[in-house]
Structure 1
């Protein structure tokens, strides 16, 4: 077991004596602060912070990180406050400790919300000092190594959180050794039976594979040496969780996964990486489209290497990674390699460190637009699994996005304003929809319009956390403003019917109602009315202190006018598909605002005369937008009938949204089609032209 003496000896390899003394002082301070506290295993609690510091020392982390590791539980688990740490060890160390602390004093409704809030706080601390996450990862790693003493349910919860959050974070920061250990320990704790079975299967096949792997490794090494390339060739073992994940994701058997041999070739410089690639490709035939150059274009976590897949001996696939020694160190330690080799405070940041800073900055942008911690953590999880795709801007700049990202994700990655105002994209100069997934190497150009705005449907195809959180934020803000506007309109109508108006209301009339409802201001009250959570007519009666009324609706109320520009708080029912020109009525739906129905719709028969649920509506003299109408058709079974129908409808500036086929026989086919039109006159023209098509037997609008 590590003790402070052995840690001091290890630190003497790379720290100055006065820095080591500060680490020792932090240890003795933590030992005194945690005096009398024991871990679940029965050991003194201080053994945990000492172990965390030891993990960081293996990565040659600086003395301030080691001091923070020693003290990381002091604020949370003892009576010592941050100010005391500032006085003893300085503001930098105290800020690191504060950032790593678990913040369990905050009370939340659910554990999920608590975990999300903790991560959100940690993201803010990371933005101030990226070392916060390194101390936190080391803390989590030691906790995972000592899971055995915990209750099974707590063990599973911690393991699940580690696999979902901390292992991906380690991967995002390029810390491969941390990631692998997180995944192995998490897999073992979360799925002990599956882990045991996969391990037994690996052990059973190791003997048969080892001889062939050894021969292949020697063949590659000897060929490189013959041609004057000094290289280290290592056979890579597949780890258990990686095997399990591939079996699940690719629906492959264990034997199919294990039939791939993996090697790593380590050389002195970048030039030799490409020369070694040529040698290996001359030795074994490469598999087409399986070569990736992460040296020219590093991964988002700073990882660099050449990847190729070959047809090896006996046709067995061989995966080969070729990299320099510095790249190997970076692949294993990632961002921590910045401190491992750091000798000059003013030295430029490593690739991994710069990428980590960029990622943390992205977290802050997501955090600013996320509605709550759970939404934030949902968006972060999306960004923690970045199987990348690389595309170009029109000026030739490389943009890196998660695999499956769309042109809309690209637009938001460039700038929030471009994302909010985009209408289409050009991929390699070809006009494309915003929802089309991007492919490696494409040049992406975004087409914007000043009048464009994000739509709720965008959330169904964007993949990046930034795009998703920005769209949600915009829609919430827009919905808020539109709800207030509609609520004001509805309340004004109700007050007019009672012989007064909003302008006539006094503070003495408004304040009691606000106090009763719990709203802090009148806009919140109006938003509630607009969303259908409060009834405008009853609110109006309360405001003029006329609660003795029987509440029956006065049919002389002027209907609310619908213009089609109200936005998210006015929706149109699918059951009867109202269009301009129809007689309409509004169903006040809690949380949705007003749902517009045709006056004859049978679905509102039960609430038609309930003033709390229904209000009269009229169309404005000029209505904007397109509206859905449903038609029932009976057609003769003729070749090309459907194509002719679509052509005629499109020629009339209407669109077919959906086609549902019904009964069909040798002579006739019945179907329903949903078409978008401007109003009843436009629909009448569409019906007239459909009737004129030879082979049309019947066409009529579906009634409800």
Structure 2
């Protein structure tokens, strides 16, 4: 562990005017409070706060942040109090320690609903003082560096939390070095075999082709010297996790990966940045589509640099980043550059962003959401995504996350425009709605009256704003569908006890059940939250208690002539409770089709064959086979759970066949015997609620013979 003198010296290196007395008092107080406490490794506990403070000195932060690091666990783990810290060290430091303590108590890897609420608190803490997050990130970095002393299950939990939350947050704040180290430390815990494999590949590659980094660095320096440009040049191999992630995303073997080496060129001014870019592109061939100018279009966290990928020595692709020294300081410190000191004073870096403005841009589009999952998804997408800048036809700039599509662009302008989108043009050319936007493109959204969002749009958009708007519209559309289904189910249930369903009866039932109105009631009946039979029992308990009349399986419908045979159409498989129409077939008798069956359109010119049919009122036996089209995850036990769910609804499975097999999903058709439309709807609802069911629909085949 470093000494108090060492810590003071580290701070003095960048801030000769630091408050040495304050630093020493904080050291002595922290050491006294943690006296006798040890870490999992057996080391004195105070070595941890000191290490956190040391990390923050590398970022050249102010005295208050360094002192907060020394004291950040005192209130949580010792007899120290917020009031005592305020008395000894002042309001600013006491409030910073309090903020770090509250963040430490957030269990970010708990349930989704709890995690969403904790994210709200995280954003609030960030908005009050971003230095709280800087201390917490340094705290997490040191904990990850020393994680080997923890239990394996704790290691996995902390590593996953770091990979999901803290590493992306560090990257979003512009501290790429910290993001890479956090990812690599987490990768070492979560997938050590993959990390070791990549390290072995690097060693093998170095043996085969030599160390290419000094060679390419020398080539770049030579070109710059010829042009008389004084610059700092250095290169490095990309981190194992970065390489592994690229292998996974692009489904490539290590041998087929390109640009696994990166080089930085640091010059004096912006003019030289573009001069160097020209020299690099003259000397080596640029890779199309791999150029980004973050100088003219900076990131929200103040990051500025030119990125280009070229085919370097021996045809190896290398990424080159070009920036000024001031830009490099911001690139290393990110948002923390706002507090950075040099020679005893705050650095007047023109590229450092105001933390308050940065937080505002981060959270301005986080609309309120009824769904915890939606909020969490929205926050993560808005917080951790890179940006692209596109233009409206009038020249206004719209900022979106990398990977955004024209649909995201439409919803960024207005929800009404997004909902009505039918197509889009990029730079005057019509493109599919799933096209990924690139920097500088002009986007024109084409809308149409009456257009509604489709369920498939969820997979096309990238922003939380667009996803939330689409889900909201789909819920409204589902509500309309549920109301219609609920009305039909209510009609059947009321008729079963000899009553007619009326608006007054439904309003009365809604009030009895504590709902707003009849529409709410019908929606809940249609979505199977409330049964239509239960509504009838509330209104007419004396009638509902009568045992329902059992329908004769041989004559389930009304409208047949004496001696006429009857069966259901195989193409649409109608069930009791659905409207039907009979069609006569020579030698087959009367075949009942659902009123919306596609086959009926081809029989409109033959009215003499149509027979007016309806189902008998009463309780039908569960003998009506219906085909269900189900897509399930290819995981152990999923098929068994699906069959169990159907069985729990008192339905028999009469047939099951697979129609498509993929590595991750299976599609199958299940034939289940149901009683009526309400019975079928209950089965569809419970299947749709199963997390491993990607999609479930009723399977109808108009090509099947009646």
**Structure 1's 202 and 107: CA in aligned 2 closer, same or farther, altered over 3 A?**
closer
2:333 aligned partner: 333
Q: CA deviation at 1:42?
A: 2.2
Contact 1:492 / 1:502 at 8 angstroms: preserved in 2? Answer: no
In 1, the alpha carbon distance for the partners of 2:617 and 2:63 equals 74
Q: CA deviation at 1:182?
A: 0.9
In 2, the alpha carbon distance for the partners of 1:610 and 1:242 equals 62
2:363 aligned partner: 361
Q: CA deviation at 1:269?
A: 0.5
1:414 aligned partner: 413
Contact 1:126 / 1:360 at 8 angstroms: preserved in 2? Answer: no
In 2, the alpha carbon distance for the partners of 1:94 and 1:303 equals 31
Q: CA deviation at 1:511?
A: 8.4
Matches within 5 A, 1:425-436: 425-432=424-431, 434-436=433-435
1:540 aligns with 2:539: no
Contact 1:513 / 1:543 at 8 angstroms: preserved in 2? Answer: no
Deviations 1:369-409 (Å, cap 9, x if unpaired)?
Answer: 2611x443344444566355442222223334334321111
Contact 1:412 / 1:419 at 8 angstroms: preserved in 2? Answer: yes
In 1, the alpha carbon distance for the partners of 2:382 and 2:292 equals 21
Deviations 1:132-169 (Å, cap 9, x if unpaired)?
Answer: 33222112111101101012222122222322332222
Deviations 1:611-634 (Å, cap 9, x if unpaired)?
Answer: 9999xxxxxxxxxxxxxxxxxxxx
2:166 aligned partner: 166
In 2, the alpha carbon distance for the partners of 1:489 and 1:258 equals 61
Deviations 1:531-556 (Å, cap 9, x if unpaired)?
Answer: 2222233323224543762263899x
**Structure 1's 195 and 315: CA in aligned 2 closer, same or farther, altered over 3 A?**
closer
In 1, the alpha carbon distance for the partners of 2:399 and 2:596 equals 54
In 2, the alpha carbon distance for the partners of 1:529 and 1:47 equals 62
Q: CA deviation at 1:228?
A: 1.6
1:247 aligned partner: 247
Contact 2:109 / 2:161 at 8 angstroms: preserved in 1? Answer: no
1:445 aligns with 2:444: yes
SS at match of 1:456: coil
In 2, the alpha carbon distance for the partners of 1:197 and 1:106 equals 35
1:549 aligns with 2:545: yes
Contact 1:370 / 1:473 at 8 angstroms: preserved in 2? Answer: no
In 2, the alpha carbon distance for the partners of 1:409 and 1:136 equals 33
1:60 aligned partner: 60
**Structure 1's 57 and 278: CA in aligned 2 closer, same or farther, altered over 3 A?**
same
In 1, the alpha carbon distance for the partners of 2:616 and 2:23 equals 73
Contact 2:510 / 2:520 at 8 angstroms: preserved in 1? Answer: no
1:598 aligns with 2:594: yes
Deviations 1:59-91 (Å, cap 9, x if unpaired)?
Answer: 122344334434444555457676776676666
Q: CA deviation at 1:443?
A: 0.9
In 1, the alpha carbon distance for the partners of 2:433 and 2:257 equals 36
Contact 1:551 / 1:611 at 8 angstroms: preserved in 2? Answer: no
In 1, the alpha carbon distance for the partners of 2:303 and 2:73 equals 32
Contact 1:127 / 1:360 at 8 angstroms: preserved in 2? Answer: no
Matches within 5 A, 1:28-67: 30-31=30-31, 34=34, 36-67=36-67
**Structure 1's 375 and 402: CA in aligned 2 closer, same or farther, altered over 3 A?**
same
Deviations 1:619-658 (Å, cap 9, x if unpaired)?
Answer: xxxxxxxxxxxxxxxxxxxxxxxxxxxxxxxxxxxxxxxx
Return the TM-score normalized by structure 2: 0.68
Deviations 1:309-357 (Å, cap 9, x if unpaired)?
Answer: 3343443444322211122222222111222159569997725858842
**Structure 1's 500 and 340: CA in aligned 2 closer, same or farther, altered over 3 A?**
same
In structure 2, list runs of 5 or more residues that go unmatched: 552-568, 582-592, 598-613, 624-658, 660-700
Contact 1:301 / 1:355 at 8 angstroms: preserved in 2? Answer: no
In 2, the alpha carbon distance for the partners of 1:156 and 1:574 equals 53
Q: CA deviation at 1:523?
A: 8.7
Matches within 5 A, 1:465-504: 465-476=464-475, 479=478, 498=499
1:283 aligned partner: 283
Deviations 1:387-443 (Å, cap 9, x if unpaired)?
Answer: 554422222233343343211111222344543454443333345554443344321
Matches within 5 A, 1:70-85: 70-74=70-74, 76-77=76-77
In 2, the alpha carbon distance for the partners of 1:117 and 1:378 equals 12
1:462 aligned partner: 461
**Structure 1's 97 and 41: CA in aligned 2 closer, same or farther, altered over 3 A?**
same
In 2, the alpha carbon distance for the partners of 1:530 and 1:186 equals 47
Contact 1:184 / 1:240 at 8 angstroms: preserved in 2? Answer: yes
**Structure 1's 435 and 40: CA in aligned 2 closer, same or farther, altered over 3 A?**
same
**Structure 1's 127 and 417: CA in aligned 2 closer, same or farther, altered over 3 A?**
farther
SS at match of 1:308: strand
Deviations 1:666-689 (Å, cap 9, x if unpaired)?
Answer: xxxxxxxxxxxxxxxxxxxxxxxx
Deviations 1:431-476 (Å, cap 9, x if unpaired)?
Answer: 5554443344321123456765544332121122221133324544
Deviations 1:203-236 (Å, cap 9, x if unpaired)?
Answer: 4544665565434423332332232211122132
2:306 aligned partner: 306
Q: CA deviation at 1:27?
A: 5.1
Contact 1:30 / 1:74 at 8 angstroms: preserved in 2? Answer: yes
SS at match of 1:442: coil
Matches within 5 A, 1:118-197: 118-197=118-197
In 1, the alpha carbon distance for the partners of 2:251 and 2:59 equals 37
2:403 aligned partner: 404
SS at match of 1:291: strand
1:528 aligned partner: 524
1:9 aligned partner: 9
In 1, the alpha carbon distance for the partners of 2:543 and 2:76 equals 54
1:293 aligned partner: 293
In 2, the alpha carbon distance for the partners of 1:2 and 1:457 equals 57
Contact 1:302 / 1:352 at 8 angstroms: preserved in 2? Answer: no
In 2, the alpha carbon distance for the partners of 1:65 and 1:481 equals 55
In 1, the alpha carbon distance for the partners of 2:81 and 2:490 equals 52
Q: CA deviation at 1:185?
A: 1.2
2:655 aligned partner: none
2:352 aligned partner: 350
In 2, the alpha carbon distance for the partners of 1:531 and 1:286 equals 57
SS at match of 1:365: coil
Contact 2:412 / 2:466 at 8 angstroms: preserved in 1? Answer: yes
Contact 1:291 / 1:308 at 8 angstroms: preserved in 2? Answer: yes
**Structure 1's 45 and 187: CA in aligned 2 closer, same or farther, altered over 3 A?**
same
In 1, the alpha carbon distance for the partners of 2:507 and 2:313 equals 89
Mean Cα displacement is larger for which, 333-342 or 322-331? Answer: 333-342
Q: CA deviation at 1:190?
A: 1.7
SS at match of 1:471: helix
Q: CA deviation at 1:198?
A: 2.6
